[in-house]
A = this chain, B = another copy of it.
């Protein structure tokens, strides 16, 4: 084993928000793997457009399923488990002789798909993780308001949770970031209304990119991009 697998966090989308290390590693990479939905270019790959070295070999890792099957269906786990097993083996084989760079939008250890390869590769291959600016940081910066002050509690929720749990947790926190919006937006709006937080919520799409939009959630339609993030700012202690 002479190679390693390096997962590079690319940040929220603006290529200039990649870390200097991520930029250097992407430019040096000879073998570049990244996740994408079938038929799509893939968010991570788009961020590094124009940065790959000549002759770099690309490995698009295409999810066998994204939202066509609910994740509660055992078939979902079976398909994705086999997909991650397969790619873990392929990347480990490559890493016998050379470094492999895996691209990840955001911060790899924060709800990232790479983690599913990571747990399969740990102990088999040398691994290196480069953290990145999270998508939610890109979003709260875009709102032009600090997210947390003083002793504020920040809660990060997935909109895939049940409505009652979303409402209870939104009511019990100072600041809030909600991800995995997609089809769950109407449910999330109801939950925030129940919690008394809807009026203070913002939804940000394509943060840090040219298509960036920042809207009060009450003014947003019910169909927003999957990568949208809802934020409610804390109002904590300040001198």
Q: Secondary structure of the A side of the interface?
A: mixed
* Cβ of A194 under 8 Å from chain B: no
A147-B109, A153-B169, A239-B77 known; A19+B133 contact, CB < 8 A = yes
Chain B residues positioned under 8 Å from A84 (CB to CB): 239
* Cβ of A70 under 8 Å from chain B: no
Once bound together, how far apart are the Cα atoms of A79 and B116, in whole Å?
49
Would A141 and B133 count as touching, CB distance under 8 A?
no
- Which residue of B17, B24, B131, B160 is within 8 Å of A21 (Cβ)? B17
Would A110 and B155 count as touching, CB distance under 8 A?
no
* Cβ of A198 under 8 Å from chain B: no
Total copies of the chain: 2
Would A238 and B146 count as touching, CB distance under 8 A?
no
- Which residue of B77, B112, B122, B145 is within 8 Å of A109 (Cβ)? B145
* Cβ of A157 under 8 Å from chain B: yes
* Cβ of A237 under 8 Å from chain B: yes
* Cβ of A151 under 8 Å from chain B: yes
- How big is the A interface, by class? 35 or more
Once bound together, how far apart are the Cα atoms of A173 and B80, in whole Å?
26
Additional pairs, 13, CB under 8 Å, beyond known A108-B141, A109-B147, A154-B156: A16-B19, A16-B20, A17-B131, A76-B239, A79-B239, A109-B140, A109-B148, A110-B140, A110-B147, A118-B146, A131-B133, A133-B133, A134-B137
Q: Which residues of A contact B (CB under 8 A)?
A: 9, 11-12, 14-21, 23-24, 71, 76-81, 83-84, 107-112, 115-116, 118-119, 122, 129-134, 137-138, 140-141, 144-158, 160-161, 169, 173, 180, 208, 237-239
